[in-house]
Every structure is written in structure tokens, then in C-alpha cells.
């Protein structure tokens, strides 16, 4: 089982990237589980026609320990097993602790043993890399961390903080850095600035996603570009990124 975490600043496109990667992996015949670890709980919306699914924390508040795996896991039309950790009631509780509770509940209920995914993707908000937001990096969860960034200053700043957190946790047997995904915003010297960021952390830009009307149209339809426009250049970029991630993580294509 390949386990990876995708981090990035809020609004940088990590959920779009995660969902399109999930769709690309599923297209290859792999069983995928995507777990949204962002309090906004919209990680998997593109896999469900734009609709949000019930979150683990909502279900825990409603039903306590009586919740079942089938309550927490919703299968998309492409066969991706989708989970949203969710967040606390606004103004009450800690979002990081909510992620911990959600992931521990999934583990306790045997989600990985029951669904037997080939790939697990944790989609994690990366503006703050502490407490529960670092949980997917911890031993037993993700093995590799991939960071989504553009060339914009604040996006690179958040990406650097994520990379530093991965470096700090390395000695504890946590996940290692798999590489950086450049989600273009077409700012000045974008590729060079992100290349320098990668070099600072002795890693590589493993994929580039261009700004595209196809991605915007797919988002408006509430679907991934891989599913909405399978022959497009954008879909091809995500499929190539999926191949690269598999090589880095030591996985393979069931249809190969």
C-alpha cells in the first residue's frame, strides 16, 4: 500500500491536485482512498460532482462510537473511496485535534484493512504544520510528502515551512519529502523561484500543472479534469504526475 500526503497553502490547488491524482490512479486500475484533512471538508468534492460528503467529526458528534466505516467512507463514481475529516464547530475546539480524532477513528475501525486501497492520499492544509496537521506525516500514515506551490511569495513561504517540518521529523521515522508540484500562477520568474526552493531542500519539481481553462471548466462542473476532459493537455499533465508519483513511491500500474 502506497501512502502519501499532499500539502500546500490554502487555495493553492492541493485539493484539485489530490482529486485529479486520485482520478488518474483509479483510471490505471488502482484502488484509491482520498482522505481530506482540511477543516473546510471540500477535498473530495470534485470526485462527487461538486457535492460535499459527511465528515468524520460530524458523524462522531451525531452518533459517537456507533459510527461505521460505511458511514465515513463514500465511494465516488470513479471508484475512489472518499473520507473527509472535517473540523470542529466554528469557534469551538481545535482543527488539528479534529484531524487526529478522525484519523484515529478510521484506523480503529480498520478502514485500510477493509477497503484494501493500493494508494492512500492525505490532502492536508499546509498553512500551519503543527499538531494534528502534522499527523499524516507521522509513522504509520504517509510515507512520502508532496508539496504543491506556485511561484507566489506566500505560497513558497508556506511550502518552505512544510519542507522544514518534514526535515525536522525525518529522524523520528516519519514521512520523507517526495518532491514539489508546481501549480503555475504565471508570476514573474515562477519556475526559477520554485526550482531554487526545491534545491534548498535537496528535492525536485516532480510535476508542473499549467493554468488551464479546462481545469476551470471542470471545477465549475464539479468534476476532475481527468474525468471531464480526458484528452486534454491538463488531464495528460495529471496522468504524467501520477506516473511520476508511482515511480517515486515504488508502485506500479495494475494494467501495465
Question: What pTM value is reported for the model?
Answer: 0.93
pLDDT of residue 170: 78
Does 116 qualify as catalytic in the annotation? no
- C-alpha angle 90/38/57, rounded to 5°? 60
Residue 254 in any domain: the answer is no
pLDDT digits (tens, 9 = 90+) for 151-181: 999 999 999 999 999 998 877 889 999 999 9
Residue 45 in any domain: the answer is yes
The residue annotated as part of the active site, out of 42, 71, 127, 243, is 127
Phi, psi of 204 (to 5 degrees): -130, 160
Does 40 qualify as catalytic in the annotation? yes
Q: What is the total count of domains within the chain?
A: 1
Domain span at residue 200?
5-9+13-248
Q: Which three cell numbers stand for residue 212?
A: 488551464
Q: pLDDT tens track of the chain, all 256 residues? A: 999 999 999 899 999 999 999 999 999 999 999 999 988 889 999 999 999 999 998 998 898 888 999 999 999 999 999 999 987 665 655 667 778 888 889 999 999 999 999 999 999 988 777 777 888 888 779 999 999 999 999 999 999 999 999 998 877 889 999 999 999 999 999 999 999 999 999 999 999 999 999 999 999 999 999 999 999 999 999 999 999 999 999 865 554 4
Q: Which three cell numbers stand for residue 95?
A: 482543527
pLDDT digits (tens, 9 = 90+) for 25-54: 999 999 999 999 988 889 999 999 999 999
Does 14 qualify as catalytic in the annotation? yes
CATH number, residue 37: 3.40.50.300
Cα–Cα distances in angstroms (integers) from residue 191 to residues 7, 114, 195, in the given order: 19, 42, 6
Please give the sequence-ordered ranges of beta strands (E in DSSP) within 18-140, or none if there are none. Answer: 32-37, 74-75, 81-84, 119-125
Residue 71 in any domain: the answer is yes
Residue 255 in any domain: the answer is no
Residue 174 in any domain: the answer is yes
Residue 253 in any domain: the answer is no
**Cα-to-chain-centroid distance, residue 156:** 18
Residue 74 in any domain: the answer is yes
Residue 54 in any domain: the answer is yes
Does 9 qualify as catalytic in the annotation? yes
pLDDT of residue 255: 47
- Which uninterrupted H or E stretch holds 199? helix 190-200
Helices (H), 73-143: 95-108, 111-115
Amino acid at each position: 500500500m502506497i501512502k502519501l500526503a499532499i500539502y500546500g497553502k490554502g487555495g493553492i490547488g492541493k485539493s484539485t491536485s489530490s482529486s485529479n491524482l486520485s482520478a488518474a490512479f483509479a483510471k490505471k486500475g488502482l484502488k484509491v482512498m482520498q482522505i481530506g484533512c482540511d477543516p473546510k471538508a471540500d477535498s473530495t468534492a470534485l470526485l462527487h460532482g461538486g457535492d460535499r460528503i459527511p465528515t468524520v467529526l460530524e458523524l462522531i458528534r451525531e452518533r459517537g462510537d456507533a459510527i461505521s466505516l460505511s458511514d465515513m467512507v463514500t465511494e465516488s463514481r470513479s471508484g475512489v473511496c472518499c473520507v473527509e475529516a472535517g473540523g470542529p464547530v466554528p469557534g469551538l475546539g481545535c482543527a488539528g485535534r479534529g484531524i487526529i480524532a478522525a484519523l484515529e477513528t478510521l484506523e480503529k475501525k480498520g478502514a485500510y484493512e477493509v477497503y484494501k486501497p493500493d494508494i492512500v492520499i492525505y490532502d492536508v492544509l499546509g498553512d500551519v504544520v503543527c499538531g494534528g496537521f502534522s499527523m499524516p506525516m507521522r509513522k504509520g500514515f504517509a510515507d512520502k510528502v508532496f508539496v504543491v506551490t506556485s511561484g507566489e511569495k506566500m505560497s513558497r513561504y508556506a511550502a518552505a515551512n512544510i519542507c522544514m517540518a518534514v526535515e525536522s521529523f525525518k529522524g523520528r521515522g516519519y514521512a520523507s519529502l517526495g518532491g514539489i508540484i508546481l501549480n503555475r500562477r504565471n508570476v514573474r520568474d515562477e519556475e526559477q523561484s520554485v526550482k531554487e526552493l526545491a534545491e534548498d531542500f535537496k528535492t525536485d519539481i516532480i510535476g508542473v500543472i499549467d493554468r488551464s481553462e479546462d481545469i476551470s471548466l471542470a471545477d465549475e462542473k464539479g468534476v476532475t479534469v481527468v474525468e471531464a476532459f480526458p484528452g486534454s493537455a491538463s488531464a495528460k499533465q495529471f496522468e504524467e504526475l501520477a506516473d511520476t508519483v508511482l515511480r517515486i513511491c515504488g508502485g506500479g500500474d495494475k494494467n501495465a
